Amino acid sequence: MDLTALFKIQYGLFVVGVEQEGRLNACVVNTVAQATAEPPQLTLTMQKRNFTTELARKKGSVAISVLGEKTPIELIERLGTQSGRDTDKMEDVPCTRDVAGNPLLVGNGVVAHYSAEITSEVDLGSHYLFVLKPTALEKLDGTPTTYSGYRARKSTGGKQWVCTICHYVYDGATPFEELPDSWVCPVCGEPKSAFVLE
């Protein structure tokens, strides 16, 4: 069994926010997916040991901010790498509250807001899988980021490789530097040397 075959699955990137007893917490996940259309239901998988997971199970609802191509790397790192048990991660992060009081990120390249109730959970060992029923959905401007696009952007310090001829922005999972010399711009066919980091 080749586990790397699973790397072929594409993911988005999201901030899950919960308010519980006046306390705000949030974490970054790549595991939000639409499960059904009629009625709309989502799934969300979260690590059991995560503090936000604990709060979400007590609260019974979550607020999800869908991150975009313009979401700053520093914000993702800050919300993704620290634990809310030790620090107030949400301090200074601009947010609004949904009807349940859960925090949604404002600005920062966020492309959609989802508020949802947790209708059931499945124990997956290391994680819980939550089934979500949306109570509010809001579409904002911008293009959602993929998890691989975020990783590529992170590897260049937040900059992006852009084709100087057609302005195509490279967003592949392979770091740009590791692409073979034979690689060409998928839009205009110019070689790697036509790209600049900006």
Q: Report in angstroms how near the CB of residue 173 gets to Fe ion at its nearest.
A: 19
Question: In terms of CB distance, is 67 or 152 closer to Fe ion?
Answer: 152
Closest CA to 55 of 90, 81, 31: 90
Question: In terms of CB distance, is 117 or 190 closer to Fe ion?
Answer: 190
Q: Report in angstroms how near the CB of residue 183 gets to Fe ion at its nearest.
A: 12
CA distance 16 to 160: 26
Stretch that binds Fe ion, among 33-41, 82-90, 113-121, 165-173 (CB under 5 A): 165-173
Is 163 near Fe ion (CB under 5 A)? yes
Q: Which of 54, 59, 168, 175 binds Fe ion (CB under 5 A)?
A: 168
Stretch that binds Fe ion, among 24-32, 117-125, 147-155, 159-167 (CB under 5 A): 159-167
- Token pair of 171 as six digits: 């967003």
- Token pair of 24 as six digits: 């705000």
Is 188 near Fe ion (CB under 5 A)? yes
- Counting residues that bind Fe ion (by CB under 5 A) gives 8
Is 99 near Fe ion (CB under 5 A)? no
Q: Report in angstroms how near the CB of residue 160 gets to Fe ion at its nearest.
A: 13
- Token pair of 96 as six digits: 């609004």
CA distance 102 to 70: 23
Amino acid making up residue 92: D
The mark string for 116-155 relative to Fe ion (x by CB under 5 A, - otherwise) is ----------------------------------------
- Token pair of 109 as six digits: 């390249």
Using the Cα atoms of residue 179, residue 183, residue 188 and residue 190 in order, give the sign of their dihedral: positive
Closest CA to 79 of 101, 110, 57: 110
CA distance 124 to 154: 30
Which residues lie across from 10 on neighbouring strands?
Answer: none
Is 165 near Fe ion (CB under 5 A)? yes
CA distance 170 to 174: 10
Stretch that binds Fe ion, among 10-18, 45-53, 144-152, 166-174 (CB under 5 A): 166-174
Is 35 near Fe ion (CB under 5 A)? no
Q: Which residues bind Fe ion (CB under 5 A)?
A: 163, 165-166, 168, 185, 187-188, 190
